[in-house]
Chain A
């Protein structure tokens, strides 16, 4: 028998209902639920793997994607032409600027790399001159 104090502590009937809900998945019922879910996951995973490897499915996905991409690229081109017709700077113009900046950056990188390589070479101690073998009969040999 529950007292008023006990009910307050437990949060009342709402609490009992909610606690019951949050305990879903525990006990024998929970085990069954878990088994069913795992079986379903296994079955679905296998079916999906088959589908994802199927050539005809991939061909269809590829065609759909290609069509979508083509439409999107076409829309971009129309937008670009419209903006150009209004003599406004377009994304294409900005892209041209970026291409030029990229080219400059590449040149600077190449120069920096060459300079650093030259610097590293210069830092290396000079290799000692190879010793020439003394000719036979040289007075040094005799010493």
Chain B
């Protein structure tokens, strides 16, 4: 290798480590098996490890906007890996990539159909009559509507950064007001909402983040752990999926626009969703620096659920940091695991 090439490689390695250190591995890291499939939706099972075995399995419902493998972010920094290590059998709903077949699926098809199917699958496989239902972001909103309508198999509910009261002061709430945004027109034009439309909206939530992240990378380019985290996060955040059309129409209308969800007026398959009907123990996990789901929006859950056993866990991180922060395995997740273990 000539002096120039060698020098160029060395300098480039330091300047742009992202591009020159090989492709990033996307997806799941922790070993798992697919235990159920319905169209593109799969239920993944992560078997418990260690000596302790918890009786009640956990079923995760993640948002329809991004990929669920954020729950298994990196080896050693994975929520499912952590919880299986604590003896929990974990089931994750992987929504897959919606296609034409998902265009007319409704909120009910996802909440009662897919979430319900995952819960029943977990109960049947584990020989139990209830699960810990664990919702993250709008996956939590979806799972909450299931839990309120079919509470029998929900032993506890964990709502991690789950929006509940949508008339908050956040930008998303403002942008989607009926005066400014016609979700129906988007669905009529595109069917499933394309990734670029969703992605551009989220990027504009914190536009300077798109600049400062590169500066942070530059400053930390010699730290292998920082670079690995950065790459994994970039890979995940650009791996978006289209949003099923009719689900989007109802979601925007009944949450951001009319706030029917929190007022107990959302109707799913002819049944009214009343969060007061959820009487199982509830844990609301709130991120202090959440710019996607403001703290107040997620905290509202505790005021309206019918549970006697309800608590909030407020953590000093952002929306994504709940599942990717380097502090999470040490400071956040053990507290969640303890709460679940006490109710298993």
| A111 at interface by CB-CB < 8 Å | no
> Do A105 and B109 touch (CB < 8 A)?
yes
| A8 at interface by CB-CB < 8 Å | yes
By beta carbon, the residue of chain A nearest B184 is A69
Shortest distance between the CB of B106 and any CB in chain A (Å): 8
> Do A66 and B179 touch (CB < 8 A)?
no
Which residues of A from 21 to 43 have beta carbons under 8 Å from B? 21-22, 25, 34, 37, 41
Shortest distance between the CB of A22 and any CB in chain B (Å): 4
Shortest distance between the CB of A28 and any CB in chain B (Å): 16
> Do A99 and B104 touch (CB < 8 A)?
yes
> Do A19 and B11 touch (CB < 8 A)?
yes
> Do A58 and B212 touch (CB < 8 A)?
no
Expressed in whole angstroms, the Cα–Cα distance for A8 and B171 within the complex equals: 56
Expressed in whole angstroms, the Cα–Cα distance for A132 and B179 within the complex equals: 66
> Do A11 and B171 touch (CB < 8 A)?
no
Contacts A11-B7, A98-B104 given: A59-B179 contact, CB under 8 Å? yes
| B96 at interface by CB-CB < 8 Å | no
> Please, what's the 1-or-0 string for A37-73, where 1 marks a CB less than 8 Å from any CB in chain B?
1000100110011001100001101100110111011
Shortest distance between the CB of A48 and any CB in chain B (Å): 5
Expressed in whole angstroms, the Cα–Cα distance for A14 and B103 within the complex equals: 56
Chain B interface helix/strand/loop/mixed: helix
Chain A interface helix/strand/loop/mixed: helix
Expressed in whole angstroms, the Cα–Cα distance for A11 and B175 within the complex equals: 54
> Do B208 and A98 touch (CB < 8 A)?
no
Shortest distance between the CB of B12 and any CB in chain A (Å): 8
Shortest distance between the CB of B282 and any CB in chain A (Å): 24
Which residues of B from 174 to 202 have beta carbons under 8 Å from A? 174-175, 177, 179-182, 185-186, 188-190
By beta carbon, the residue of chain B nearest A14 is B4
Contacts A45-B208, A69-B182 given: A98-B101 contact, CB under 8 Å? yes
> Do B179 and A69 touch (CB < 8 A)?
no
| B15 at interface by CB-CB < 8 Å | yes
Q: Which of A72, A95, A113 contacts B100 (CB 8 A)?
A: A95
> Please, what's the 1-or-0 string for B105-124, where 1 marks a CB less than 8 Å from any CB in chain A?
10011001100110010000
Expressed in whole angstroms, the Cα–Cα distance for A105 and B116 within the complex equals: 13
> Do B171 and A53 touch (CB < 8 A)?
yes
Please name all residues of chain B whose beta carbon is closer than 8 Å to the beta carbon of A62 when the two chains form the complex: 179-182
Please name all residues of chain A whose beta carbon is closer than 8 Å to the beta carbon of B185 when the two chains form the complex: 65-66, 69-70, 73
| A79 at interface by CB-CB < 8 Å | no
> Do A116 and B120 touch (CB < 8 A)?
yes
Please name all residues of chain A whose beta carbon is closer than 8 Å to the beta carbon of B218 when the two chains form the complex: 25
Expressed in whole angstroms, the Cα–Cα distance for A93 and B195 within the complex equals: 24
Please name all residues of chain A whose beta carbon is closer than 8 Å to the beta carbon of B3 when the two chains form the complex: 7-8, 11-12, 14-15
Expressed in whole angstroms, the Cα–Cα distance for A22 and B181 within the complex equals: 45
By beta carbon, the residue of chain B nearest A100 is B104
> Do B116 and A61 touch (CB < 8 A)?
no
Q: Which of B10, B100, B204 contacts A11 (CB 8 A)?
A: B10
24 contacts between A and B (CB under 8 A): A11-B4, A11-B6, A12-B4, A12-B7, A18-B11, A19-B7, A19-B10, A25-B218, A25-B219, A41-B212, A44-B207, A62-B181, A62-B182, A65-B181, A65-B186, A69-B188, A72-B190, A73-B185, A98-B100, A101-B101, A106-B109, A106-B269, A109-B113, A109-B117
Interface residues of B (CB under 8 A from A): 3-4, 6-8, 10-11, 14-15, 100-101, 103-105, 108-109, 112-113, 116-117, 120, 129, 171, 174-175, 177, 179-182, 185-186, 188-190, 204, 207-208, 211-212, 215, 218-219, 269
Q: Which 3 A-B pairs have the closest CB atoms?
A: A15-B7, A11-B7, A18-B11
Given contact pairs A48-B207, A109-B112, A120-B129, enumerate 11 new A-B contacts (beta carbons under 8 Å).
A8-B3, A11-B10, A22-B15, A41-B211, A45-B207, A58-B174, A58-B177, A65-B185, A73-B185, A94-B100, A106-B109
